[in-house]
Amino acid sequence: MLKITFAAQTIPGQAALILTIGDKGLLGAQGKKLDIKLGRAISRAIDASHFTGGVGQTLTILAPAKTRLSRIVLLGVGDVAKLDAGACTRIGGAVVAGLAGKDASAVLLVDDFKGLKIAVGEAAAQIGFGARLRSYRFDKYFTKQKPEQKTALKTLAIATTDASGAKAAYAALDKIADGVFLTRDLVSEPANILYPETLMQQARALKDLGVKVEVLNTQQMKKLGMGALLGVAQGSANPPYLVTMQWNGDATAKDKVPVCFVGKGVTFDTGGISIKPAAGMEDMKFDMAGSAAVIGAIKALAGRKARANVVGIIGLVENMPSGTAQRPGDVVTTASGQTVEVINTDAEGRLVLADALWYAQETFKPRCIVDLATLTGAIIIALAHEYAGLFSNDDVLSDQLTKAGTAVDEALWRLPMGDAFDKMINSPIADMKNTGERGAGSITAAQFLQRFIKKGVAWAHLDIAGTAWQGKDKPLSPKGATAFGVRLLDRFVFDNFESK
């Protein structure tokens, strides 16, 4: 794990130095001093390249003369007057992405620029946060790696004029990163290692942070009438669980009604009897990314001692074909008492969420409820891997989530809902069916979930099928699991429900 430290603003005698540069090659106070010392080597390198100082741009000067530095990496921060927390986080990610080499340690000098509106300590903390997020690697199963395949960088010292302020601001961000890393680890694990029981145990481990964790087993769920969730699980040798995680961080609040997050936890999805094509099925280990995001968000909130009351609920199942598996055409009775005709056993996530959402409302009567799920491939057709789909019955809640997502670069796009779409899931033999027509697949999935939301309860559904896993590097994460939703939910709580 990359260690982030903060120190006084000095230029190191050796190791790698990362120097912040403004738009159009603008040098700060320390950069100007160093440039003079090096016979204007920095200015000449900028003039001889396409480096403009844009946000996240890098330019490396190897083994600069007159120093013992292994390299100087010029790091663009863009227009300093427009620099904000989000940009600083992306800049930190660019540091790690651009610092390939043998250096085990590096110093990032956050230079002084006129017109900087963000506090220098906050800027330094956010840069450190971005660097840590981008440093993530899931390499536990490699037994043979060449040196160039391994991460050399172990320590990043961030030099700033406000080291104490940066350290204080980073403390909470570091805990959020812990939640992000846990989620990425869980989503990355193969299904022979991570299945409902072992994922339940990961949630249970949050007790060490003061989280109250309760687990329902098969018999307890049967008593509650959770026929939809149990129907999905009945084809697997691995038993299902419903896990509740309570973080009561605001014990003094007069109104202790919690915010509730619900996550889909299908630890592997074969499609069941409606089996998926073999090509790409290995990716279905991440069909539990919604539940992992909820676990990670609760860990982040508890880790930084958020002054808010939040409940996380996850339904954990494995969707397998077998002689006991649910069949297309079966009718199941949900915890709400409503019946569902199962048209396609590969539309299983909504069945799990139906019972989990109902349990959340019956048990906690939350002020609002947000569910996260890798629910439909259709959302990728609509939004590619750039946005998560947002569906909601409440404009205020929708706006709050969108704003939080924008602040942390986890973008949401709201899609429509309505009676015309709702009619598409009417069944001739039950209250509803679990799939609609070929068109609007993501919308009809959301309409299905809405049927399990009680009147007057503010609810939002985030379809993260396109954002939970990426096939290429992103500014704040390498390719693979992204932990989409953890930082979004943390920011949502901080902005709207946390006692300041």
Residue type, 183: T
Average pLDDT, integer, range 78-103: 87
Q: Is residue 169 part of a domain?
A: no
Residue at which a domain ends, from 106, 129, 163? 163
**Residue in 156, 154, 130, 220 with CA at minimum distance from that of residue 408:** 130
End-to-end Cα, the chain, rounded Å: 31
Least trusted range by pLDDT, from 101-105, 122-126, 250-254, 467-471: 101-105
The 10s digit of each residue's pLDDT in 426-462 is 999 999 999 998 899 999 999 999 999 999 999 999 9
Catalytic residue among 32, 204, 276, 307: 276
Average pLDDT, integer, range 295-322: 98
Query: Both 84 and 208 in a single domain?
Result: no
Catalytic residue among 175, 264, 350, 433: 350
Angle, CA of 383, 95 and 12, to the nearest 5°:
170
What is the distance between the alpha carbons of residues 66 and 75, in angstroms, rounded to a whole number? Answer: 21
Q: Is residue 171 part of a domain?
A: no
The 10s digit of each residue's pLDDT in 44-74 is 999 999 999 998 899 999 888 888 888 899 9
For residue 98, is pLDDT > 80? no
What is the distance between the alpha carbons of residues 301 and 209, in angstroms, rounded to a whole number? Answer: 10
Per-residue CA distances from 422 to 264, 418, 446 (Å): 21, 6, 9
Query: Both 108 and 197 in a single domain?
Result: no
Contact 272, 343 (CB under 8 A): no
Query: Both 191 and 77 in a single domain?
Result: no
Query: Both 132 and 37 in a single domain?
Result: yes
For residue 97, is pLDDT > 70? yes
CA dihedral (433, 435, 436, 442) positive or negative: positive
Specify the number of domains making up the chain: 2
Query: Both 122 and 194 in a single domain?
Result: no
Q: Does the annotation count 350 as an active-site position?
A: yes
Percentage of residues of the chain with pLDDT beyond 70: 98
The 10s digit of each residue's pLDDT in 152-196 is 788 999 999 999 999 999 999 999 999 999 999 999 999 999 999
For residue 253, is pLDDT > 80? no
The 10s digit of each residue's pLDDT in 379-413 is 999 999 999 999 999 999 999 999 999 999 999 99
What is the reported pLDDT for 184? 98
Query: Both 353 and 238 in a single domain?
Result: yes
Q: Measure CA 365 to chain center.
A: 26
Contact 107, 18 (CB under 8 A): yes
Query: Both 131 and 271 in a single domain?
Result: no
Q: In sequence order, what are the beta bridge partners of 159?
A: 7, 109
What is the reported pLDDT for 8? 87
Residue type, 296: G
Query: Both 235 and 91 in a single domain?
Result: no
For residue 99, is pLDDT > 90? no
Dihedral, CA atoms, 211, 214, 215, 220, nearest 10 degrees? Answer: -170
Q: Which pairing describes strands 469-470 and 155-160: parallel, antiparallel, or unpaired?
A: unpaired
Contact 285, 190 (CB under 8 A): yes
What is the reported pLDDT for 426? 98
pTM, entire model: 0.95
What is the reported pLDDT for 285? 97
Residues in the chain, total? 500
If pLDDT is split at 50, 70 and 90, which confidence band does 147 have? low
Q: Does the annotation count 102 as an active-site position?
A: no
* Parent domain of 86: 3-163
For residue 104, is pLDDT > 90? no
Query: Mean pLDDT in the chain?
Result: 94
Q: Is residue 258 part of a domain?
A: yes
Query: Both 142 and 186 in a single domain?
Result: no
Query: Both 128 and 236 in a single domain?
Result: no
The 10s digit of each residue's pLDDT in 454-490 is 999 999 999 999 999 999 999 999 999 999 999 999 9
Residue at which a domain ends, from 136, 163, 190? 163
